[in-house]
Amino acid sequence: MLGNKVDATGCPLCDCNESPPVCTTTGTTSATDSGAPTACNLVCSNGYVVDGGCKICKCYETPPCTCGIKPTTSDVYCIDKTTIERYTDYCVRELNNTCHYYYQRCPIAIKFVITKGSFTYNDLTKFLTDLRVPLDAVSIEINPTKNEVTFYVKQDYIPTGIKDTEIAKFIETSVKDSGSNDGYAFVIQGDTTSTTMGYGNVIVVSLIGLFIALFM
């Protein structure tokens, strides 16, 4: 693992490093470390400049930006019934030293209908590996009466350039590659108050719970 790219403040971004940062020069330290760069005799009230994922012994000339007044918007309850799409209190600093409040988005919701066999642990593992997302990026709902699995994928974890329809294809391919299972996936459309999904018989589980449900 090469880790994530970082922004000018050293915060990790949802994108992978092509190569890991090497911080071996005197006066540098990893951007994820706290404190001053090694062997740096500067005390920077505005923070240290980050170059290539490493803090260098150079101060920001201007103070870090602030977000100011948070935009006023109405909360939107997402279709997963747990996430609220809205501006948070977290102030994000971009590479160009501009700041904005972090906007929490609804997850991508995709329904997978099993037409042959079952959805297995191996299918799930392949899906996560192919999409390059961690366990905590996805939650799942199982509807055993309809033989359906609904995926909720957090948008901030989705690699750059991947569309929701492509995620649906990842799910289909992960299942079909096993040779014994099959099905089709599609992106769920509609507003957050939709009642067309039949929640009455749905079992909501974490991915760890899903593993247990599949293999007990």
Say yes or no to pLDDT of 184 above 90.
yes
Per the structure, the count of domains in the chain is 3
Q: Is the same domain home to 210 and 114?
A: yes
Report the distance separating Cα 75 and Cα 67, nearest Å: 19
Q: Is the same domain home to 89 and 118?
A: no
Say yes or no to pLDDT of 201 above 50.
no
Which helix (H) or strand (E) segment is 15 a member of?
A: strand 12-16
Q: Is the same domain home to 150 and 210?
A: yes
Which residue range(s) make up the domain with 84?
A: 65-106
Beta bridge partners of 56: 28
Q: Is the same domain home to 50 and 25?
A: yes
Report the distance separating Cα 146 and Cα 124, nearest Å: 19
Of 106, 137, 170, which residue constitutes the final position of a domain?
Answer: 106
Residue 61 in tokens:
């000339």
Q: Is the same domain home to 125 and 203?
A: yes
Q: Is the same domain home to 42 and 132?
A: no
Beta bridge partners of 84: 77
CATH number at residue 192: 3.30.70.100
Q: Is the same domain home to 80 and 173?
A: no
Q: Is the same domain home to 124 and 206?
A: yes
Q: Is the same domain home to 208 and 120?
A: yes
Q: Is the same domain home to 15 and 76?
A: no
pLDDT in tens, 106-148: 999 999 999 988 888 888 888 888 888 888 889 888 888 889 9
Report the distance separating Cα 122 and Cα 30, nearest Å: 36
Least confident of 73-87, 157-171, 177-191, 197-211: 197-211
Q: Is the same domain home to 30 and 101?
A: no
Mean pLDDT of 39-56: 83
Q: Is this model's pTM higher than 0.85 or not?
A: no
Q: Is the same domain home to 87 and 123?
A: no
Say yes or no to pLDDT of 54 above 60.
yes
